[in-house]
A = this chain, B = another copy of it.
Amino acid sequence: FIVEKVVALLQMSKQLSGKRILVTAAGTREPIDPVRYIGNRSSGKMGYAIAQAAAERGAEVILVSGPSGLPTPPGVSVRRVETALQMRDAVLAEFDTVDAVIKAAAVADYRPELAADHKIKKDGETLTVSLIKNPDILLELGQKKKQQILVGFAAETQELLLHARDKLIKKNLDLIIANDVTLPGAGFNVDTNIVKLIDKSGHVEELPQLSKQQIATIVIDKICAMLTKST
């Protein structure tokens, strides 16, 4: 019995051997000037947990991470970036040769049109920051994808399923992980999350409140199944 369990564990540990998995994590920072930036509340916990779970199954994992205080999971190669444009470059450099991409990063949709070279002095009573749209990395990957399994996240504050399904279709994803960031125990900077998994066929799987490690395991299970089916 113990031998069977060990064999099962060893087989699980090799499920992704020979596969290259790209994971993005944490938020980007878009500079307003050398001191100020527009940031977002992603801690990177979900993405780091997924990178770790993929590495534990034997995958070669590349983690493209925005600023985060989290330790690099063992066996994972990290590329550190700050802005959305840097994240796009780092992701596109790897995309052709990977088997799956899990985009857990919270990439800024907009960046300041001009980043000032010097700290803006606080002379005026008001200040207007003009933002322009950042490239939509996930949309671009969805248009380019060939063999790659593409997994996205939808962090919403209202009409969760509607927004998540729209995103899945528009961006040509294989799976989307949707969470309502307004729920206690879900979303940013907490160790748990409450998510729904929606696949290409429209099937919705609602998960209870779980640790981000548990959710990472479930997501990696799904990716294993999809990669096995597609080869």
**Which A residues contact B (CB, under 8 angstroms)?**
29, 32-41, 69, 106, 108-110, 113, 117-119, 122, 124-133, 155-158, 181-182, 188
Q: Is the CB of A32 within 8 A of B36?
A: no
Cβ contacts under 8 Å, A158 to chain B: 118-119
Q: What would be 21 A-B contacts, judged by CB atoms less than 8 Å apart?
A: A33-B157, A34-B157, A34-B181, A35-B155, A35-B188, A36-B38, A36-B39, A36-B108, A38-B39, A39-B39, A110-B122, A110-B127, A113-B126, A119-B155, A119-B156, A122-B133, A125-B132, A126-B132, A128-B129, A128-B130, A129-B129
Stoichiometry, copies per complex: 2
Cβ contacts under 8 Å, A119 to chain B: 155-158, 181
Chain B: minimal CB distance from A181 (Å)? 7
Cβ contacts under 8 Å, A106 to chain B: 35
On whether A129 and B126 interact (CB within 8 A), knowing A36-B38, A38-B37, A157-B34, the answer reads: no
Give complex CA distance A32, B122 in Å. 19
Checking B40, B108, B127 against A131 with a beta-carbon cut-off of 8 angstroms, the contacting residue is: B127
Please give me the residue from chain B that is nearest to A70 by CB atom.
B69
Give complex CA distance A59, B41 in Å. 35
Cβ contacts under 8 Å, A124 to chain B: 133
